[in-house]
Structure 1
Amino acid sequence: MGTVTQGGSRQGRTPLIAGNWKMNLDYQQAIALVQKLDWALKDAKHDASSVEVAVFPPFTDLRSVQTLISADKIEFSLGAQDLSVHDSGAYTGEISGQFLKKLDCGYVLIGHSERRQYHDEGDDVVAAKVKAAIKHGLVPVICVGETAEDLETHGASAVPVAQLKTALTDVAAGTEVVVAYEPVWAIGSGQAATPEQAQQVCEKLRAVVAEALGADAAAATRILYGGSVAAGNIAGFMREPDVDGALVGGASLKVDDFAAIIRYQKHVGV
């Protein structure tokens, strides 16, 4: 984890390809996927320092995946799909950030469009979860985006910019965060935003980070695109100066597809 590595950086930002498995794969299937993905990348002689790979399994898989990564020295980062605003207590079904940190999670998704839609998580809840993640030493992957209705009503970038401003309220200058732009209208549709559309929004999101956390933090912050990402379109997004990686959904469940997305530098010459 981290924003800078030697050799494989984009203006000091190491590309991050993150696989959000959502509610898929039991712990045995998770182990098998991680092993196969590791083998596929090693067989292809992938340079692990050039692109950071992170996987976000369901909660029930985290311990198994963490043990495998540690035991086999697999160069993947581990993340969780959500966390509680609370540290501990009578909150049945919730997961504390301190529990995730004990499992060597480096990242946690916050404000994913599905959490906003199906669990009514508003901007204030997202902001509280960002603070909880930071408190426990986790890097929040702050998800922002707009629906088709938002796009039509407010125009490009207005809603994700407002969401990110609230999420970063009272976050200390220089704090490490990752931002993921999810055009909700594109997720699962098979029709991704264009690279130009993604760049337009990501550029404005970086300006929000600069205003909230400072210019140095903005220069180091990785902004991901997430919305029907595939091996065939990742290269176009990664050519844009403010797109530093991808939050991959369905394609991250398929070893060959996910490996091809991770290896975008080789097979498309970016």
Structure 2
Amino acid sequence: MKLALYACCVGPALAFVARPPASSTSTGARATSTQLDARKPLIAGNWKENPCTVQEAEALASEVAEATKQAGDVGVVVIPPYPFLVPVQNAASGALMIGGQNCYFEEKGAYTGAVSTAMLSSVGCTYVLCGHSERRTVFRNDDNAINRKLRAVLDHNMMPILCIGESKEEYDAGLNKAVCAIQLSKDLKGVTGEEMKRIVVAYEPVWAIGTGLTATPEIAQSVHDYIRGYLAKMYSREVADEVIIQYGGSVTPDSVDALMAMPDIDGALVGGASLDGAKFGRIINYKKA
């Protein structure tokens, strides 16, 4: 799928954004309030390579599970390192969903260190991260590999959380929306409209991950709105209005309320703050507008 880049003026700066591909099934109508309310918020905690011991992981899971009792109608996922998946699930006593931080697209074979989607599914994973910026940059996963991983997750009846977002240099150049469009077009290759309804998109500006910087709610909303519009062009407005789009990038108890008040922000993918039970509990129990 080819993307056409065109220039448009945004304030004093010249920004380049990607023109979504034409689709005969898309409509220009925005979602009704009923459709918006149908998107159940999803808060996910990506523990990355933390904590150090299984005992710490179990204690954190228990604390987060306790915090969900007051959360209302919010889905909560914790995404621990592979060795802790089963202990965390047991410690959570059914109060939390669990996810895998990554996967390999081959089902089995001589791939030392790899973890397949069949393995993740067999231990109870509901979600799997695909395309996190650290996998893209540190481990050099390209869009073709991410697409194959996403396909494998869908084929094993789990839900991918597709992470997309721009670097600081790309943001400064006004290319944030163009980068998101290119990643969506490549990473969703071969995905049908029905399958798209099972995919969560996480917009994570790379410059805001682990830096303490957070896009303002207005900036985040602008990109989320663009992503939803792009998905409407790729598939249909109906499909786009059902997709949960999370924001990720140094989400904290101080920033979550304003972010979640935005109409196209349906949840958060939380890094560092998810390792503190009290902080993550406050994020889960964000104050609704």
TM over 0.5, shorter chain: yes
1:243 pairs with 2:265: yes
Question: How many angstroms apart in 2 are the aligned matches of 1:184 and 1:247?
Answer: 13
Pick aligned residue for 1:179 from 183, 189, 201: 201
Pick aligned residue for 1:51 from 69, 74, 85: 74
For residue 30 of structure 2, what is the aligned residue in structure 1? Answer: none
Matches of residues 212-227 of structure 1 in structure 2 within 5 Å?
A: 212-227=234-249
For residue 189 of structure 2, what is the aligned residue in structure 1? Answer: 169
Question: How many angstroms apart in 2 are the aligned matches of 1:208 and 1:131?
Answer: 20
Give the letter aligned to residue 106 of structure 1.
Answer: T
Shift of 1:236: 1.0
Q: Count the aligned residue pairs.
A: 252
Give the letter aligned to residue 58 of structure 1.
Answer: P
For residue 54 of structure 2, what is the aligned residue in structure 1? Answer: 27
Distance change in 2, residues 1:235/1:27 (3 Å): same
Shift of 1:55: 0.4
Contact between 2:67 and 2:284, CA under 8 Å: does it hold in 1?
Answer: no
* Identity in percent: 41
Question: How many angstroms apart in 1 are the aligned matches of 2:67 and 2:42?
Answer: 18
Shift of 1:10: 4.5
**Which whole-Å deviations, capped at 9, do the CAs of 1:188-211 have from their partners, x for residues lacking one?**
121200111111111111123223
Pick aligned residue for 2:84 from 29, 49, 61: 61
Give the letter aligned to residue 177 of structure 1.
Answer: I
1:39 pairs with 2:39: no
For residue 44 of structure 2, what is the aligned residue in structure 1? Answer: 18
Shift of 1:41: 3.9
Unmatched 5+ residue regions in structure 1?
Answer: 1-8
Distance change in 2, residues 1:253/1:41 (3 Å): same
Structure-2-length-normalised TM-score: 0.83
For residue 4 of structure 1, what is the aligned residue in structure 2? Answer: none
**Which whole-Å deviations, capped at 9, do the CAs of 1:1-41 have from their partners, x for residues lacking one?**
xxxxxxxx942100011000000013221111011222244
For residue 3 of structure 1, what is the aligned residue in structure 2? Answer: none
Higher Cα Rg, which structure: 2
Question: How many angstroms apart in 2 are the aligned matches of 1:218 and 1:237?
Answer: 20
Query: Which stretch shows the higher mean deviation, 146-155 or 192-201?
Result: 146-155
Pick aligned residue for 2:115 from 95, 108, 125: 95
Question: How many angstroms apart in 1 are the aligned matches of 2:64 and 2:151?
Answer: 32
Contact between 1:83 and 1:97, CA under 8 Å: does it hold in 2?
Answer: yes
For residue 261 of structure 1, what is the aligned residue in structure 2? Answer: 283
SS at match of 2:176: coil
For residue 73 of structure 1, what is the aligned residue in structure 2? Answer: 94
Shift of 1:171: 0.5
SS at match of 1:157: helix
**Which whole-Å deviations, capped at 9, do the CAs of 1:149-201 have from their partners, x for residues lacking one?**
11233523111121011111110221110000011111112120011111111
Give the letter aligned to residue 251 of structure 1.
Answer: A
Question: How many angstroms apart in 2 are the aligned matches of 1:181 and 1:154?
Answer: 16
Matches of residues 93-172 of structure 1 in structure 2 within 5 Å?
A: 93-172=113-192
Unmatched 5+ residue regions in structure 2?
Answer: 1-34
Contact between 2:132 and 2:164, CA under 8 Å: does it hold in 1?
Answer: yes
Give the letter aligned to residue 188 of structure 2.
Answer: L
Contact between 2:36 and 2:241, CA under 8 Å: does it hold in 1?
Answer: no
Give the letter aligned to residue 53 of structure 1.
Answer: V
Question: How many angstroms apart in 1 are the aligned matches of 2:68 and 2:151?
Answer: 35
Question: How many angstroms apart in 1 are the aligned matches of 2:206 and 2:280?
Answer: 21
